[in-house]
Structure 1
């Protein structure tokens, strides 16, 4: 899409909301309203960085990964055109038309819904609530025992036995892995396979590791389809829960969605509602799977 076409389409979208600009400005977070840098003027009226922030917030998805300077220019151009056309609409008394009033009522209801739910949900889903949900879920995770293993893969049994003798003589396992292992992935890490639970590695390696104590290595080569392994058990532990920092955004999102639905259900239960058309479920979307 050319730049002019993009600006035109964006302007059309912005024009659809132009009439509620004066209403929504008071509902945008305070940080935006404090930003009074003037970016353009139309008929003596300023377009500020606060206006730009609102437009950017509304159209973040459409703007995608556009460079910041281009995004800023496109949005300001669209705001200029929006202001020109909306001023012309006011001069033509468009605000007295029923179509305008119906759209205003819709946009006002939409904005009130958004702000009301956002504020109620934010007050209910605190940092403490997110942490409590994490602690509760972490406590329900089944205990999984896992081992941190190292291995050295050799092409034949004789080579594997040579490595075992070198280990018995005191050679460091990691050093021998880097020198001798045929496993190109793990040899650079001294044969380190990381933490693996039962069933997550080769059955032969799994069985051999299960017979070891921490710090021990296999005294005989372990044969598999890939060759002969010398296996060392470095550490055993119960698998830890995912770190709070990595999953707290998903937990917060789930709590917020649940709280929003609770609030809506609570308010709806006290409202008098008459739906005068039949309830019809939407068709199930095809997800590409043969259920």
Structure 2
């Protein structure tokens, strides 16, 4: 009965680190021929042997754990996982017999895989030797949740492109116009334009400074008599209510604060390494300016990888699921995009929904 391959995409990552597998020792073998850094796998620690080479139990366990994590708990039969490892080992042995591992392209790819593994190992080692302390968690808690943000505000806003548009809306409000109807009709903020500009409850430091200052200065039920400018456009703001915020206990958000602090530590370490290093950029990263009349690529052209910065907002929630703070991070995302007209954003998407503060 033939065993089917498990999709290689699933197991490829886990199998990068299968270098622990060693040949079974023979009577004439010499330990000097084995790589000095590779631990020897004994028969007692192996789950299978293929042409005299052991497959370690640890390799099987790592593969099973990797698939469970990547497949969100979905499991595969153990016999299929083992058969996948056996088939991989057969392919490796056959490739080595054909001396494919001596080819320049394979050597280059193996070196890149080695760098990726060492990169991950360095970060893991740094996090292990520089753990997040309780004092750091307490300081982050006081800064983001427990110390300053003692008042929550509930507000609505109308976002427009120009100051003149905002002043026109204020004039309509002065004449008795309904704020929610004006927001639904005029706001560029796509999400809030469907619910009367409602921003819900938030603390001041979740918003950019000009916006938060305007909200704090308003009285309950009052709207701004002058437009408020931010990087997103011009706002007319209505403060509906405010209330005292009772922060959750530190233990309720500790698990969410820890990974945020870990990322900050790693980022600081990388910045230090970058400052200490001598780096010369030998190749320009930007294309030379093209004439204005240069034709744009047709929609049928092949898709090209595009890397762009994406602002990702992480929420810190208490045990009841209520958002008590937000962390904004910037990630680089690369994806295949065809240079077609469909890439243009709709007007409503030109401005972000809520004017969150970038760090």
What TM-score, normalized to structure 2? 0.43
Q: Which of the numbers 137, 146, 150 marks the counterpart of 1:130?
A: 137
Query: Could you tell which deviates more after superposition, 264-273 or 54-63?
Result: 54-63
Distance in 1 separating the partners of 2:309 and 2:259: 25
RMSD: 4.0
Distance in 1 separating the partners of 2:308 and 2:270: 24
Higher helix share: 1
Q: Does 1:93 align with 2:99?
A: yes
Higher relative contact order (CA 8 A, sep 6+): 1
Matches within 5 A, 1:195-274: 240-274=246-280
Task: Name the SS for the 1:242 alignment partner.
Answer: coil
Native 8 Å contact 1:37 1:49 kept in 2 = yes
Distance in 1 separating the partners of 2:58 and 2:13: 15
How far is the alpha carbon of 1:96 from its aligned partner? 1.2
Native 8 Å contact 1:11 1:81 kept in 2 = no
Deviating above 6 A after TM superposition, structure 1's stretches of 4 or more consecutive aligned residues are 284-289
Distance in 1 separating the partners of 2:20 and 2:286: 37
How far is the alpha carbon of 1:255 from its aligned partner? 0.7
Task: Name the SS for the 1:21 alignment partner.
Answer: coil
In the alignment, what sits opposite 1:140? 147
Which has the higher Rg, Structure 1 or Structure 2? 1
What TM-score, normalized to structure 1? 0.51
In the alignment, what sits opposite 1:152? none
* 1:66 to 1:74, Cα distance in 2 relative to 1, 3 A: farther
Higher strand share: 2
Native 8 Å contact 2:127 2:262 kept in 1 = yes
Q: Does 1:77 align with 2:102?
A: no
Task: Name the SS for the 2:16 alignment partner.
Answer: helix
Task: Name the SS for the 1:254 alignment partner.
Answer: helix
* Equivalences, count: 187
Instruction: State the Cα deviation string for residues 42-62 of structure 1 (Å, max 9, x = none).
Output: 223332320023323544454
Matches within 5 A, 1:1-291: 4=4, 7-10=6-9, 13=12, 17=16, 21-22=19-20, 37-67=45-75, 70-128=76-134, 129-143=136-150, 240-275=246-281, 276-279=283-286, 282-283=307-308, 290=349, 291=351
